[in-house]
């Protein structure tokens, strides 16, 4: 379609004929007016007075149309702008729900559900050769790693079963289970990332070895440090993801204390905040276990 002649170009002569299919053909652009030019429009008087009021009636002079349509449009513009301004402060000043404004929390939960559907155990975090792993692994947080009352030599993992039993598993016992190593890009919720190398037992191998079938049929798994200062909840599909590891090694060496000795969670499908260090207890639940950063306004899943 040729479009050299424009209704907007004042220097161009008025177009001589209607171009079929041209949405802005100037001959027929009174909105909602299908009447061909020249014919007297037969409209309901009430409708006509409304059109006069808002300035779209062709019985008005051009200047009247300009004035009224400008006024009506800008009035609507400012009313809608004020409404948007009000809505913004409605959200900003709304009551808190787990550390964040209630309306935002609702949408974050919906986000979790929507993007939860994109999850597949076949979607793997990219892995790297061991040579790519950082020597100096970044240390960012020591919440739950306080020294008072903690004795590394006496540590044992406490697993709560559905039937009420508690398993107490020492680190040597875990080391005898099949070992899995991973070199992947650890991603912190703050925005930095680092390729690091970890070794341990796959969570799914761990669950299979201790026959945690009724437990892994639940919705969530909860983990906490021995002092309960740091605690997280993980949806079961992420916990059973083939790259989720209960790690006891970093860079081929036993975990340093700062990185969560003797056992920490490595879960590449989630941000670092879910990589709980110094795992003390593991329990299972159909409702979301309490989660340290969720309570401080982050989304529950923190998935990647």
Partner 1 sequence: MKRLVPKHPLAIRWMHWINFPILAAMIWSGMLIYWANDVYKIHVGHNILFSFFPQGFYKSLNISFRLAEGMAFHFVFMWIFFLNGLVYVTYTLVSGEWRYLFPDRHSFREAWLVVLHDLHIRKTAPPQVKYNGAQKIAYTLVILMGLGSVLTGLAIFRPTQFAWLTAMWGGYGNARVIHFILTLGYCLFFVIHVIQVILAGWNNFRAMVAGFDVVNDPPPTAVREPSILNHAQNLADGK
Min dist CB 275 to partner 1, Å, is 14
Q: Count CB-CB contacts under 10 A for residue 157.
A: 21
- 300 scored as a contact of partner 1 (CB under 8 A): no
Q: At 300, phi and psi to the nearest 5? A: -65, -45
Report the alpha-carbon distance of residue 137 to residue 99 in Å, rounded: 30
Contact between residue 294 and residue 110 where contact means Cβ atoms under 8 Å apart: no
Contact between residue 231 and residue 150 where contact means Cβ atoms under 8 Å apart: no
Contact between residue 262 and residue 253 where contact means Cβ atoms under 8 Å apart: no
Instruction: Read off the tokens for 148.
Output: 């008072």
Q: Binder to partner 1 among 63, 131, 168, 253 (CB under 8 A)?
A: 63
- 17 scored as a contact of partner 1 (CB under 8 A): no
Which residues from 243-272 bind partner 1, rule CB under 8 A?
Answer: 268-269
Min dist CB 217 to partner 1, Å, is 23
Report the alpha-carbon distance of residue 157 to residue 264 in Å, rounded: 11
Report the alpha-carbon distance of residue 280 to residue 228 in Å, rounded: 8
- 188 scored as a contact of partner 1 (CB under 8 A): yes
Q: Which is nearer to partner 1, 68 or 278 (CB)?
A: 68
Q: Binder to partner 1 among 24, 47, 130, 213 (CB under 8 A)?
A: 24
Q: Binder to partner 1 among 105, 259, 264, 277 (CB under 8 A)?
A: 105
Contact between residue 225 and residue 149 where contact means Cβ atoms under 8 Å apart: no
- The interface region with partner 1, picked from 9-17, 130-138, 198-206, 211-219 by CB under 8 A, is 9-17
Chain residues binding partner 1 by CB under 8 A are 1, 3-4, 6-11, 13, 21-24, 26, 29, 31, 62-63, 65-66, 69-70, 72-74, 77, 80, 84, 88, 99-101, 103-105, 107-108, 111, 115, 118-120, 123-126, 185, 187-193, 268-269, 293, 296-299, 303-304
């Amino acid at each position: 379609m040729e479009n050299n002649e424009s209704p907007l170009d004042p220097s161009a002569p008025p177009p001589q004929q209607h171009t079929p299919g041209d949405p802005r053909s100037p001959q027929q652009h009174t909105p909602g007016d299908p009447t061909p030019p020249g014919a007297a429009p037969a409209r309901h008087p009430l409708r006509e007075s409304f059109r006069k009021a808002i300035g779209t009636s062709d019985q008005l002079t051009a200047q009247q149309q300009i004035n009224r349509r400008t006024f009506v449009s800008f009035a609507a513009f400012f009313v809608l702008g004020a409404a948007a301004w009000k809505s913004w402060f409605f959200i900003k000043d709304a009551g808190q729900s787990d550390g964040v404004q209630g309306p935002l929390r609702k949408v974050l939960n919906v986000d979790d559900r929507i993007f939860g559907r994109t999850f597949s155990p076949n979607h793997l975090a990219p892995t790297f050769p061991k040579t790519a792993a950082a020597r100096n692994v970044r240390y960012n947080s020591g919440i739950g790693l306080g020294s008072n009352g903690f004795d590394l030599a006496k540590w044992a993992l406490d697993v709560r079963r559905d039937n009420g039993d508690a398993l107490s598993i020492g680190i040597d016992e875990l080391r005898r289970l099949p070992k899995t190593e991973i070199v992947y890009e650890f991603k912190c919720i703050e925005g930095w990332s680092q390729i690091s190398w970890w070794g341990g037992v796959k969570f799914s191998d761990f669950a299979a070895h201790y026959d945690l079938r009724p437990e892994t049929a639940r919705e969530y798994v909860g983990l906490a440090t021995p002092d309960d200062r740091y605690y997280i909840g993980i949806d079961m599909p992420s916990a059973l993801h083939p790259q989720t590891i209960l790690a006891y090694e970093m860079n081929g060496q036993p975990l340093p204390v700062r990185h969560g000795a003797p056992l920490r969670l490595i879960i590449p499908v989630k941000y670092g905040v879910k990589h709980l260090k110094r795992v003390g207890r593991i329990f299972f639940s159909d409702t979301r276990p309490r989660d340290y950063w969720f309570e401080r306004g982050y989304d529950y899943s923190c998935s990647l």
